């Protein structure tokens, strides 16, 4: 490289700002990055409120971390102390009840936001090229969220904590030959006990922050392509976009506030409605509660686990159900993204959403014949949707010509 070229290359790194802003920005280019990615960033004009749930999920994550830190000031991770320390948070710590109820209910609302967010991605085809990695990072976060929530739920050391942890960690014993050794390695003991709470607490923190790290990748990959929108058509000009700030910021904030008003209603009037009362009984390794159920957000996957009569098979189906969703960008053969223009696939996706709710319902019921049958049909549809319908419907259906963003907005006015 000649010296001129070298100087020219360095010049492109110079800050566009002057003064203190310029001084900082030429040493730490954060200000210009934030301006490009969050203030001026062009976003399709046609976004609807489905697009607010990513931001809402992020608010939930921030809330969980803040409340988690304050819970951590009082929580004691041992089989001996955990339950009592949580009871102390509820009774003796100033506003401890509020912080704990916030943490527990934010988790539920985090999952609600995430489920809607995922549905949005499916319905409007956001998973398709060129946003495959955005989608994959999203699914990865979803799996980490489930792991974090599972670990967190063991911490209060109630009966549901204990037996949920026992049943879920025992899934590893389904692995042929080395299963039991792996289980002992994970628990540091022969059963869920003191050693497990201790390390689950550490991992609960660690994974929560790992999610934060993945949010960064999720957003970097998103900002390489920009947001999808209800039409699935890319913006053709600046006219079809608005700047992220103030248009999207104010809309998302507004949506988030309504969302959190609903959460506040649950939080203040029915703080335990999404939990299980047995978790207010201290863990007893000698007695399993008569009807153990996971937290509501795990129920669809629990239903899939129970649908398969074989232990290893059930575990594979459960984890496979989420992993398989990651193949959708490559299995969906249609050129058209949005379900607005896909007459058959649209109903497949809607049925997938209904099926998800049905699985959630049967997952919370006892393993009686009728519920097992429904969960088998639901599980079958889950995999049929991904491996058969996605490739097939893309070939068979004749999609409508997708509208441009401008035409879509006009047609909505008309």
Partner 1 sequence: MSNRKKPRRDFIKLSAMTLGGVGAASLLIPFISSMNPGKDTLALASTEIDLSPLEEGQSLTVIWRGKPVFIKHRTKSEIDTAKNTSLDELPDAEEDSARVQKDNWLVVLGVCTHLGCVPLGQKASDTKGDFGGWFCPCHGSHYDTSGRIRKGPAPTNLPVPPYVFLTDNRIKIG
Tokens of residue 26, six digits: 């030429």
- Rank residues 168 and 211 by Cβ distance to partner 1 and give the closer one: 168
Count the residues of the shown chain that bind ligand HEM, applying the rule CB under 6 A: 26
Among 185, 257, 273, 323, which residue sits at the site for partner 1 (rule: CB under 8 A)? 185
Angle at alpha carbon of residue 13, lines to 7 and 19, rounded to 5°: 110
Pick out residues in 214-273 that bind ligand HEM (CB under 6 A). none
Q: Is 72 in the site for ligand HEM (CB under 6 A)?
A: yes
Among 291, 333, 380, 400, which residue sits at the site for partner 1 (rule: CB under 8 A)? 291
SS (H, E, C) 138-184: HHHHHHHHHHHHHHHHHCCCEHHHHHHHHHHHHHHHHCCCCHHHHHH
87/97 Cα distance (integer angstroms): 9
270/259 Cα distance (integer angstroms): 16
Q: Identify which range of 113-121, 211-219, 283-291, 388-396 contacts partner 1 by CB under 8 A.
A: 283-291
φ/ψ of 160, rounded to 5, equals -70, -35
Least Å from the CB of residue 102 to ligand HEM: 9
Least Å from the CB of residue 165 to ligand HEM: 12
Q: Identify which range of 70-78, 247-255, 357-365, 385-393 contacts ligand HEM by CB under 6 A.
A: 70-78
180 as an active site residue: the answer is no
16/2 Cα distance (integer angstroms): 25
Pick one of ligand HEM, partner 1, none as the site partner of residue 166 (Cβ within 5 to 8 A by kind).
partner 1
74 as an active site residue: the answer is no
406/106 Cα distance (integer angstroms): 38
Least Å from the CB of residue 372 to partner 1: 9
306/294 Cα distance (integer angstroms): 12
CB 283 within 8 Å of CB 83? yes
Among 57, 64, 192, 317, which residue sits at the site for ligand HEM (rule: CB under 6 A)? 64
- Rank residues 315 and 339 by Cβ distance to partner 1 and give the closer one: 315
Among 166, 227, 233, 338, which residue sits at the site for partner 1 (rule: CB under 8 A)? 166
Write down the residue that tokens 């609903």 correspond to: 262
251 as an active site residue: the answer is yes
- Rank residues 71 and 307 by Cβ distance to ligand HEM and give the closer one: 71
For residue 282, the cross-strand partners are 158
Q: Which alpha helices (H) appear in 297-368, and where do they start and end?
A: 299-307, 311-325, 328-331, 345-363
Least Å from the CB of residue 5 to ligand HEM: 47
Among 286, 335, 370, 413, which residue sits at the site for partner 1 (rule: CB under 8 A)? 286
Angle at alpha carbon of residue 384, lines to 382 and 390, rounded to 5°: 105
- Rank residues 31 and 372 by Cβ distance to partner 1 and give the closer one: 372
Tokens of residue 387, six digits: 């491996």
Pick one of partner 1, ligand HEM, none as the site partner of residue 68 (Cβ within 5 to 8 A by kind).
ligand HEM
Q: Which of 108, 295, 338, 375 is catalytic?
A: 295
Tokens of residue 312, six digits: 């290893």
Q: Is 288 in the site for partner 1 (CB under 8 A)?
A: yes
Q: Phi/psi zone of residue 142: left (φ > 0), alpha (ψ -120 to 50 degrees), beta? A: alpha
Q: Per the omega criterion (within 30 degrees of 0), is the bond before 246 cis? A: yes
Least Å from the CB of residue 12 to ligand HEM: 38
Per-residue string for binding with partner 1, 187-206, x by CB under 8 A? xxxxx-x-x---x-------
223 as an active site residue: the answer is yes
Do you know the residue count of the chain? 414
- The closest of 265, 218, 250 to 114, measured between CA atoms, is 218
Q: Which of 108, 126, 161, 227 is catalytic?
A: 227
295 as an active site residue: the answer is yes
SS (H, E, C) 212-249: HHHHHHHHHHHHHHCCCCCCCCCCCCHHHEEEHHHHHH
Among 41, 51, 59, 75, which residue sits at the site for ligand HEM (rule: CB under 6 A)? 75
Q: Catalytic residue positions?
A: 223, 227, 251-252, 295
Residues lying near ligand HEM in the complex (CB under 6 A) = 61, 64-65, 68-69, 71-72, 75, 86, 100, 103-104, 107, 110, 145, 148-149, 152-153, 155-156, 204-205, 208, 211, 275
The footprint of partner 1 (CB under 8 A) covers 163, 166-171, 173, 184-191, 193, 195, 199, 285-288, 290-292, 306, 309-311, 314, 367
């Amino acid at each position: 490289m000649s010296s001129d070229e070298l100087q020219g290359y360095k010049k492109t790194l110079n800050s566009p700002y002057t003064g203190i802003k310029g001084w900082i920005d030429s040493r730490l280019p954060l200000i210009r990055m934030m301006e490009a990615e969050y203030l001026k960033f062009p976003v399709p004009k046609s976004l609807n409120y489905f697009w607010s749930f990513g931001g809402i999920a992020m608010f939930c994550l921030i809330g969980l971390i803040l409340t988690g830190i304050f819970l951590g000031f009082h929580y004691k991770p041992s089989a001996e102390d955990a339950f009592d320390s949580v009871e102390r948070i509820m009774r003796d710590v100033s506003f401890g009840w509020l912080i704990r109820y916030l943490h527990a209910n934010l988790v539920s609302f985090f999952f609600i936001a995430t489920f809607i967010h995922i549905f949005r991605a499916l319905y409007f085809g956001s998973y398709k090229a060129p946003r495959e990695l955005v989608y994959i990072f999203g699914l990865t976060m979803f799996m980490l969220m489930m792991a974090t929530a599972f670990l967190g739920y063991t911490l209060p050391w109630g009966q549901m904590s204990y037996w949920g942890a026992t049943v879920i960690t025992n899934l590893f014993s389904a692995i042929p030959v080395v299963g039991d050794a792996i289980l002992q390695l994970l628990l540091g003991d022969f059963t869920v006990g003191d050693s497990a709470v201790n390390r689950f607490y550490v991992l609960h923190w660690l994974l929560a922050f790992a999610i934060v790290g993945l949010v960064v990748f999720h957003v970097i990959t998103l900002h390489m392509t920009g947001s999808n929108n209800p039409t699935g058509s890319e913006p053709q000009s600046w006219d079809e976009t608005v700047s992220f700030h103030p248009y999207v910021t104010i809309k998302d904030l507004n949506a988030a506030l309504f969302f959190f008003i609903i959460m506040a209603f649950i939080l203040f009037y029915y703080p335990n409605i999404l939990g299980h009362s047995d978790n207010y009984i201290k863990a007893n390794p000698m007695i399993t509660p008569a009807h153990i159920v996971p937290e509501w957000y795990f129920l669809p996957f629990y239903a899939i686990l129970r649908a398969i009569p074989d232990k290893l098979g059930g575990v594979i189906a459960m984890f496979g159900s989420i992993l398989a969703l990651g193949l959708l960008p490559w299995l969906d053969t249609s050129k058209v993204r949005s379900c607005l223009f896909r007459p058959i696939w649209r109903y497949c996706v809607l049925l997938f959403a209904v099926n998800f709710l049905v699985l959630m319902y049967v997952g919370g019921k006892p393993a009686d014949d009728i519920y097992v049958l429904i969960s088998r049909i639901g599980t079958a549809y889950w995999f049929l949707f991904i491996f058969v319908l996605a490739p097939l419907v893309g070939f068979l259906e004749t999609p409508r010509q997708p509208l441009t963003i401008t035409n879509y907005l006009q047609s909505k006015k008309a």
